[in-house]
Chain A
Amino acid sequence: MNAPVGHYQYDSVDRAFLQSRIDEFADQVARRIDGSLTEDEFKPLRLMNGLYLQLHAYMLRIAVPYGILDARQMRKLSSIARRYDRDYGHFTTRQNLQFNWIKLEDTPAILRELAEVDMHAIQTSGNCIRNVTSDEFAGAAADELVDPRVHAEILRQWSTLHPEFTFLPRKFKIAISGSPHDRVAARFHDIGILTRPGPNGPLFRIFVGGGMGRTPLVGQEIFDSVREEELLATLEAILRVYNAHGRRDNIYKARIKILVQALGIDAYREAVQAELSQMDLARYRLTPEIVEAIRARFAVPNLHAPDNASEIFLADQKRDRKFARWVQSNTHLHRAPGHIIAVVSIKPAGGIPGDATSEQMSRLADLAEQYSFGELRVTHLQNIVLGHVRQDKLYALWQELEKIDLAAPNHSLIGDIIACPGLDYCSLANSRSIPIAQKLSARFANADLQSEIGKLSINISGCINACGHHHAGNIGLLGVDKRGEEFFQITLGGRADEKAAIGSILGASLPEDEMVDAIARIVDRYLAIRGPGESFLDTLSRLGDAPFKEAAYEIA
């Protein structure tokens, strides 16, 4: 096997820390079970270790730092699914993995198993800086300017157990990308960072105050060009201002977005600059030496392809139309000649978005070893990416994916639906999200139809917490409760890319059993009225939402 590439190698300090943390939690679990801790005392402790109590069981959320896993870690997740859960896991939009059927008494053993492969569940819950997310094509994409993973790792180390930021007013989410094409929803994060090369090292453009939930807001630019050596000091100052002034009296007003909105971006920037002026900047200076030391802990893939790799790849596509269609939707240009990025859709027609069986997970680990240097990435669209595949081997990889039902040609198309767990699992939900996703993806299963419709995102959340990012969906569905019955509100026009926008509500909410037909009518109307080459969003901005409103509420 090739050495795993793409993520940081733990050392003995990291490992010793994890062990002591697990011992501590094992003791807390034992004290909860024998009654010396009440549920009220235990709840914050279990949440600090990623353990929630959901509708049917405990749910354990496992961190996948900047979305990168190696084959050995994926295999471990597969075996945990088999041994401790119901034989599957759920990949999330924050590039993590959730197990839905965990027993409290098993969690210390599970955490020990995870630690064997340098994984944990810390900072996947609670009012701290959460697992930092990054571009799923990092270090591979042809359109990338700076590989964001080295800085994502620096942010991981800076934010892990940061003493000052362990009890923030509310959870805090950071995303970082190094491509001009925003694949991390930077403007929908508490802090979104876009990096690019400058004359003397990378520069960082920083957005603050984005987020979804009850008050959806697009993040605003606070700094355009922060230098590398000042990156940590700047982030530290942004967080200090929030920690000092963020509202702790009202959970709905506690996120940084509310503070930024209340102060205004200019006043927030001034407060950060005032903080910076009195900080010991030397302490936070990110020197080239530090950055290089971190970079050295990442193994680099040896990207060498035969000269005729592209020729073979073209011939494979000519020979097999089905393969060619998958290539068209599910690959992305690689920076190295003869290579390509493959997106493995975890959204089979009629399936549950993001759910993978233990068998699929362990096969994905094998395929990663065989085709992509043992490295996998979890995407914020709940898919898996194999980042460095040789073009002449892609056909063989695709045939293997077909065998495990993971070759749906629907990346970024209407079948690539994001849905939160909703009322089937989540104790906060108003409505079920997954069944609508399943029905829609079955309805639009035909690959020709999907490619004819073109890029179109459908995002479904079971309540206003917006875990399914419905505000950012081209078509967004939000579950609402009407006297214990499931209803959905439709929004149109949301997007999470560099033109980030929040969808607008189309009209009154509709009952669950009318949703699929209503969405299908909206899509049919788009196909009927679009101009040549027009995407759904183009048509919407040209004609407004009136035609879609008419279609959605048409009495069948």
Chain B
Amino acid sequence: MDIQLLFFAAVKDHFPDLKKIEVSEGDSIVHLRKILTNTNPDSESILKVSRFAVNQSIVGDDFVLREGSVVAVLPPSSGG
């Protein structure tokens, strides 16, 4: 099944063209982290400290993805 991806700030530098990705039924954020790290090993350190949001709500590592989920990868914030 496909999910949509949104990348921001420093994470965007690692996955500029990746807007969609295929995951398996039952895959969670942990699996997505692994898939993204395998896609681009240089992203490992920033992914480790990034939060994930699904449909604009922050979720934990065990959140299970669904078809069409909009997943935002949020590196550490630095507003203010």
| Chain A bound to chain B | no
Residues of B within 8 A of A (CB): none
Residues of A within 8 A of B (CB): none
